[in-house]
Amino acid sequence: MKLTSCLSALALWGFAALAQGQEVSIFTAEHVYFGNGQNKREVTQDVKLPSGSESYEQVILSVRTYCPNDRCDWWDRKGALYVETDEGQTVELMRFMTPYRVGARWNLDVTDLQPLLKGPKRFRVFIDTWVGPGHPQGDGWLVDATLKYTKGVPKDRPLAVLPLVSAKSIEYGNPSVETLAGRVVEFSEEFSKAKIWTYVTGHGQGNTDNCAEFCQRRHTLSLGNWSTSRVIWRDNCRDTVTEGPQMGTWIYDRAGWCPGDKVNPWVETLPGSALGLGQETSFQWQPEAYTNHRRDDYDNNGHTMPYYQISAFMVLFE
């Protein structure tokens, strides 16, 4: 084949690929670490996303954490990727837990979030690491994150994304601390249905019932007169796939997460008829009642404060 023919074929292939969609890089080999007088556990990046004039059948978020200088952090660390709304609120797109000492990668279908994933946006990646270059327990983490847009018509057309609870930690089992989160919302436009996305993970150990990392508890979501509940627990940690064999206690099941895996969002669907237009409605998350009788001797080692990490948002559909 002549060179001109090859170049023409490549150009046509590139045009066809572009016509089908596009891939946008959010972070590339971003070094997340703590040390040497620097705190880079959290990094922000401004990114120009597609304008929103096109319709996309699917949008996939891909995140990879891997080892700087082949020296990953020794420990499983809580991490997340966030995006800011045009109003300055924060939405947690993906929560993940790094593996022990090796890399991992995850994909998440975020097609529902198209109203949020367009135009100029500010993203933030956070990993709760306490090591960095030259530390005896690793140099921290490198992070890649991309969004892949595939053109077409989605099964459901999302109208808007409404933040409900920004990511926060809430102590569990202390009678003097209110263990709930929520907000009052009002719906100003008609919609056929809504989905509530919630991230809930339990942390802390050595407490009564070994909460909140290693205890199974029922959690309830409510919105107006609608409510649902489920036990937050992962029972398949030993099946976690990473980019090499993990160290540590990764095989043990935990409250909503596994070392080396993304956290699966808790997604509930409810009809628009369940929510009234122009009426204030209260959203709330709450775990089942529990009292921790070992609250006075935390040692930041085998006995740490039990808490839940919670965030939530709602997607409205045409």
318 — pLDDT class (breaks 50, 70, 90): confident
DSSP-derived letter for residue 277 is: B
- Alpha carbon dihedral 250, 268, 196, 175, in 10-degree steps, equals -60
Asked if residue 15 has pLDDT above 50, the reply is no
Asked if residue 274 has pLDDT above 90, the reply is no
Cα separation, 203 vs 58, in Å, equals 33
Cα separation, 131 vs 151, in Å, equals 41
Stronger pLDDT, 254 or 7, i.e. the higher one: 254
Asked if residue 251 has pLDDT above 60, the reply is yes
Q: Which single residue is written with the structure tokens 């997604």? A: 267
Cα separation, 137 vs 193, in Å, equals 48
All domains of the chain in start order, with CATH: 21-154 (2.60.120.230), 156-318 (2.60.120.230)
Per-residue model confidence as pLDDT tens digits over 104-159: 999 999 999 999 999 999 999 999 999 999 999 999 999 999 999 999 999 889 99
pLDDT of residue 271: 84
Asked if residue 12 has pLDDT above 50, the reply is no
CA–CA distances in Å: residue 257 to residues 76, 223, 315:
11, 25, 23
CB of 312 closer than 8 Å to CB of 183: no
Quote the percentage of the chain above a pLDDT of 70. 93
pLDDT of residue 3: 43
Candidates 147, 149, 190, 191; CA nearest to 55 is 149
User: How many CA atoms lie less than 13 Å away from 303 in the CB half-sphere?
Assistant: 12
Asked if residue 16 has pLDDT above 50, the reply is no
Cα separation, 44 vs 66, in Å, equals 18
Q: Which single residue is written with the structure tokens 């039990």? A: 306
